[in-house]
Structure 1
Amino acid sequence: MLIHGFRGDHHGLALIAHELRDRDVWVPDLPGFGSAPVPRAGLDLAAFTTHIQALCAAAESASGARPTLVGHSFGSVLAAHAYAHSPDISCGVGLLSPIVQPALEGSARLLTQLTRLYYAAGAALPDRLGSALLANPFIVRGMSEVMATSSDRMTRRFIHDQHARHFSEYADRRSLAEAYRVSTEHTVAEVAAELARTSGPLLVVAGDDDLIAPIEAARGFVADLRERHVPVDAETLTGVGHLLHYERPAAVADAIETFARTMDQD
């Protein structure tokens, strides 16, 4: 079960799903993104985690086995919280580019402040102006340029094309603002104690050139979990930033496959 990040949809994790061709892979859209509707009560952390728990239950019902739950970026936060509070939904959790610390505590504080102003303006402006700002192709391209670290021209072109096509496939401005609030107010570290109590296996895959989720924070998170006697497999991808699902999908899939095999043997 692959859970995408903020402003993404199922397309973002398609390359990893393709590499996991020997397994059944579910890549759903989160509520408010892609084709998934927004709950009547709106979006908060509970809405997302409840949705993921229901998806895992559906996958288990269809396959007869609990899924391996994997989340990227914002999806890592949602996956960690969903599993921490309902560990029976999955046999283990993978966290890709995990958000360990609040954005304002990271190394890219200025970028975070600008991003917050951007989403605040998008929510406050009249509908037409706000929507135009949020979907502005130059701003979307700028975000894509900041996150991409690959020097390969074809890879960068693909990343920018994917963001141009799918980064603005959200339900409406209100739900986008709600999702953004969740993404900035919660981290995987919040549930470290709960994850330790589950005693379930974890996988952490991070890039050492990630501006959004710094590698130092990921390493500290792994060390903390291991001190709590949590079985953690950790892999660092060299020269990769936040978009490891685009820049190194085969390596990420290999890590997930190896992790899943260990659980197959249990």
Structure 2
Amino acid sequence: MLDDFFIRALLGGIGIALVSGPLGCFIVWRRMAYFGETMSHAALLGISLSLMMDLMPFWGVFAVSIAIAMALYGLEKLDRLSSDTLLGILSHASLSIGLIALGFMAWLRVDVMSLLFGDILSITRGDLALIWGGGILVLGLLLFHWRSLLAATVSQDIASAEGLPTKQANLVFILLIALVIAVAMKLIGALLITSLLIIPAASARQFARSPEMMALLAAILACLSAILGLNMSMIWDSNPGPSIVLGAFMLFLLSLAIAPLVRALRPPQR
């Protein structure tokens, strides 16, 4: 069965979707969409460095994502520029440096379009092992730190007063985002990774009545986005990465349309 490239693409897309949905909920709750965008743009710089040093792209992307996150943390302490300004600077600078570095490596034939928009149809069995292995690790850590992350999202001060390890949980959260971006880079590309984190979570928010329900719905909607996008790609002969994002956007529009009806039919809470 795994000899079929489309089946491998489906399994890879679903594996990433199961992780990106719940993780994306925290990005939506914390209003960190621009942070996720910065991390995904930095992924291209990670690819460039890994090619220069003859390393697996995964390690380069993961290392650069962590470095960008730590640089943002340090710059914010200077209190000279707002966080969104710093994110914009780091985002575009890392993306530009990555593209320039790729241009200098004339001895390599690099498909820039696949780096920017992904190439999910070319994933191998080894990629599937990395996706599902990394996904299990991410979900396990997310579940372990769920209470601390949720409390810190509501109020850092209250969470600290209750003795919850908020600093440790926030660091783990950054590591998880970096890990998901590193794993998902090959599937949907540097420019589209954040969309799979944000759009299903935003759709799930229309219906969820609890954080846990929103995380579950986001995972389901992300999986549906991957399945819908890949099928549209096969039918229209379009790029799979953007097609998956389009599938997520279509589900988001559908959620906006039917959410008022669902809320009207829902029995009132006591």
**What is the TM-score when the length of structure 1 is the normalising length?**
0.30
Q: Which has the higher contact order (CA 8 A, sep 6+)?
A: 2
Higher strand content, 1 or 2: 1
**What is the TM-score when the length of structure 2 is the normalising length?**
0.30
